[in-house]
Amino acid sequence: MEETENKQPQSPSKIMTIVVVAVLTLVAGGGGWLAGVALAPPPPEPGKTAEVSPEATGAEGLPKLATEENGIVQLEPITTNLAYPSENWIRLEVALQFNGAPDVALAEEIHQDIAAYLKTVSLQQIQGPRGFQYLRDDIQERVDLRSDGRVTNVMFRTFVIQ
């Protein structure tokens, strides 16, 4: 009997596969490192730290965006019960953006006006996205009337109903 040899094309050896994977891994790692160096800001030099005033930092020590230097006054949180049902409470934190120098006395008047208004609102009036938008519009209108245009924006920071 004759032995015939079937010669099938051999697949690449395991060593070649390992070499190709290793080269591709090094190329990908090098590309990632280059992208990181190009996109990341340089690290701060030792001994040099940015000076931030203590009143411009929050509880965590991070700089606050709402500072009087930026023309923004963050009002104290407003917590009150709703008109109906009176068991429900609302907590609202807003910040006011002034056109020019902020007026802290005016901000306190606006704070009291918003607190008085929230006591007249019922839960049904502020339910859902449309109700929240109506509340925002009503508060913005009250702020515009009270400030005579000196407050350009009312920024809602938190809004919780319990």
Copy the structure tokens of residue 107: 């901000």
What pLDDT sits at residue 24?
94
- pLDDT tens per residue, range 64-121: 555 666 788 889 999 999 888 889 999 999 999 998 888 889 999 999 999 999 999 9
Calpha distance 18→26 (Å, rounded)? 12
153 and 83 in a common domain = yes
Q: Enumerate the H helices of 12-103 as residue ranges.
A: 14-39
What pLDDT sits at residue 19?
92
147 and 80 in a common domain = yes
Domain that holds residue 124: 64-161
Q: Is the pLDDT of residue 11 over 70?
A: no
- Domain contains 98: yes
pTM of the model: 0.58
Comparing CA positions, the residue from 52, 104, 111 lying closest to residue 73 is 104
- Domain contains 34: yes
37 and 91 in a common domain = no
pLDDT top residue among 66 and 157: 157
104 and 24 in a common domain = no
- Indicate the DSSP class of residue 44: P
Amino acid at 128: G
Comparing CA positions, the residue from 90, 80, 73 lying closest to residue 147 is 73
Copy the structure tokens of residue 100: 């020019």
Contacts of 104 (CB under 8 A, 6+ apart): 68, 73
- Domain contains 1: no
What pLDDT sits at residue 62?
46
84 and 29 in a common domain = no
75 and 148 in a common domain = yes
- Domain contains 121: yes
What pLDDT sits at residue 47?
59
Averaged pLDDT of the chain:
82
Count of other CB atoms within 10 angstroms of residue 27: 10
For tokens 């407003």, the residue is: 78
- Domain contains 122: yes
101 and 35 in a common domain = no
What is the number of domains present in the chain? Answer: 2
